[in-house]
Amino acid sequence: RPRVLSGIQPTADSFHLGNYLGALRNWVQLQETHDAYYMVVDLHAITAGHDPAVLRQRTRVGAAQLLALGLDPERCTLFVQSQVPEHAQLAWVLGCITGFGEASRMTQFKDKSVKQGADRSSVGLFTYPILQAADILLYQANLVPVGEDQRQHLELTRDLAQRFTSLFGPAFTVPEPYILKGTAKITDLQDPTAKMSKSASTPAGIIELLDPPNVSAKKIKSAVTDTGREIIFDQANKPGISNLLTIYSALTGRTVDDLVAAYDGKGYGDLKKDLAEVVSEFVAPIQEATRGYLADPAQLDKQLAVGAEKARAVAAATLRTVYERVGFLAGV
Ligand code: TYM
């Protein structure tokens, strides 16, 4: 079976619809056909400042949501990044073959460091994509399901894998991104040209999976829409309505064309009202299952420990090859 790997940061109290439609939905599907490794990336979550107790809680809530969305520990390996020390170890080696300029060109780093101020942003934020490359290469992943915003990090990962091979010999599989066009960039409800983002959007711009239904309904009803009244899919001129149609279509399995035909002659308010209903039906069972997993944190931690042990066996084998190739003495 080909391998798939992906990760998500526990940097908010809930994952959002962009995370789900851009990535997590594909994680669930790919566990059926692939040897799948999925993780909550808590090492990445400390690059921009954090509170320890909040991080610990968000890591558990994150894992619980992934289980609630349908990740099945019998079908995939679900783990927490910091419980597999090889991630940090490989990141060091990869950092030593990454150019300073190359790392400086990562647009997510540029965006975030501009926002935080260059002097305030951490070295960890700068080396973040190198750690991400280590995450992927440790598992010899063939495929990495992510949203559009991760494409550049995947390119860097591929470059580093190939560079390592030409410097020291083969150790890695060169991975391919798995980015599904229609839902690769879900946008902010309040600013429909920007992506829906845990760090950059206002609360009103994000539909969180754990939002109570009346809260998400309110957000959808006050979503910024476009001038005019026609419900048509036109991302350039009607980004707001197009985003709502994308979400609606993805959650129901109805095509955008079908929705456009069904709303012919109706108004934005009708579409929003129905979408609020669709969202609330979609999140209800997820919220209930998430609460269920969180009700027994000891059991959840145990499950994650089992995942980490399985992940570690694969990661350790890759790291051994890497250490040997770069000329370190054999491990004791
Ligand atoms: P993160 O935690 O920001 O997001 C998790 C996943 O959700 C996708 N995503 C979106 N997709 C569509 N529309 C949106 N508005 C939207 N917002 C987020 C992201 O593309 C991502 O797939 N660096 C990664 C985490 C990571 C990782 C990895 C991913 C660490 N190591 C190894 C893959 C492989 C990140 O910050 O994702």
Nearest CA, atom 35, ligand 1: 8
Question: For residues 243 and 187, is the Cβ–Cβ distance under 8 A?
Answer: yes
Residue 219 is a catalytic residue: no
% pLDDT > 70, the chain: 100
pLDDT at 154 over 80: yes
Structure confidence by residue, pLDDT tens digits, 252-286: 999 999 999 999 999 999 999 999 999 999 999 99
Residue 234 DSSP label: B
CA distance 247 to 225: 14
Interface confidence, given as ipTM, is: 0.99
Whole-number average pLDDT of the chain: 96
Residue 266 is a catalytic residue: no
Structure confidence by residue, pLDDT tens digits, 97-123: 999 999 999 998 888 887 877 778 899
3-state secondary structure 181-228: HHHCCCECCCCCCCECCCCCCCHHHCCECCCCHHHHHHHHHCCCCCCC
| Residue whose entry in the numeric block shows the structure tokens 């399995």 | 253
How much is the pLDDT for 239? Answer: 96
Please name the amino acid found at residue 105. Answer: R
Look up residue 55 and give its two tokens: 């991080």
How much is the pLDDT for 332? Answer: 67
Nearest CA, atom 24, ligand 1: 8
Look up residue 4 and give its two tokens: 């798939």
Ligand 1 pocket: which residues have CB below 6 Å? 5-9, 18-19, 22-23, 41, 44, 132, 135-136, 144, 146-147, 149-150, 184-186, 195-197
Question: Which of 132, 135, 134, 171 lies closest to 153 in space, CA to CA?
Answer: 132
Instruction: Confirm or deny that 257 is annotated as ligand binding.
Output: no
How much is the pLDDT for 2? Answer: 97
CA distance 299 to 303: 6
Cα(304) to centroid of ligand 1, in Å? 20
Q: What is the mean pLDDT of residues 79-105?
A: 97
Structure confidence by residue, pLDDT tens digits, 43-66: 999 999 899 999 999 999 999 999
Residue 195 is a catalytic residue: yes
